[in-house]
Amino acid sequence: MYTPIVATLGYILSPDGRQTLMVHRNKRKDDQHLGKYNGLGGKMLPGEDIYTCLTRELYEEAEIKCEETLLRGTINWTGFGPNGEDWFGFIYLVKKFSGIPKKKNEEGDLVWVDIDQVMTLPMWEGDRFFLPLVFDNDSRVFHGYMPYENEKPLAWNFSRI
């Protein structure tokens, strides 16, 4: 039976568009993401639509309010969770926000990273496949499938429409 965890992942652009805000997951020793860099976001709650989830998560994690966002894609990650859970993620680019992002949250330090340096960071191996699609100039939304096993991606397939 397929019952994925639905979540958002947001990549916030700096006002000049050259950097993105990422979380360095370095706070909780039991975190499956420990040591990795990631966009901000999280699980959708009952009664939320996906955009409300994104804006709530970004406010909780960084204390910013989204003013202009762009859905860049969706990804079906089967077998991704610590117990092999399936995740379905909506990937957003936040082009404009208000507020001053805080420096850290309960998951880790929030850091501005040059977009051209993002791929050099420690991250999930699978993120390296879709991150170029988040920041490229193609206006089409991507829809991907990335099965995982033992914390490793087995494949990456996507289409753009």
pLDDT tens digits for range 35-77: 799 999 999 999 999 999 999 999 999 999 999 999 999 999 9
Residue 147, both tokens: 């099965």
Residue 31 has pLDDT above 70, yes or no: no
Contact at 8 Å (CB) between 42 and 57? Answer: yes
For the stretch 91-128, pLDDT in tens is 999 999 999 999 999 889 999 999 999 999 999 999 99
DSSP state of 23: E
Contacts of 119 (CB under 8 A, 6+ apart): 128, 131, 132
Residue 125, both tokens: 């191996």
Q: Are strands 5-13 and 87-98 parallel, antiparallel or unpaired?
A: parallel
For the stretch 132-159, pLDDT in tens is 999 999 999 999 999 999 889 999 999 9
Least reliable range by pLDDT among 28-37, 70-79, 80-89: 28-37
> Of 120, 148, 118, 123, which Cα lies nearest the Cα of 133?
118
Contact at 8 Å (CB) between 46 and 76? Answer: no
Contact at 8 Å (CB) between 115 and 95? Answer: no
**Domain annotation for the chain: domains and CATH numbers:** 5-160 (3.90.79.10)
User: What pTM, to 2 d.p., does this model score?
Assistant: 0.94
Residue 16, both tokens: 């000049």
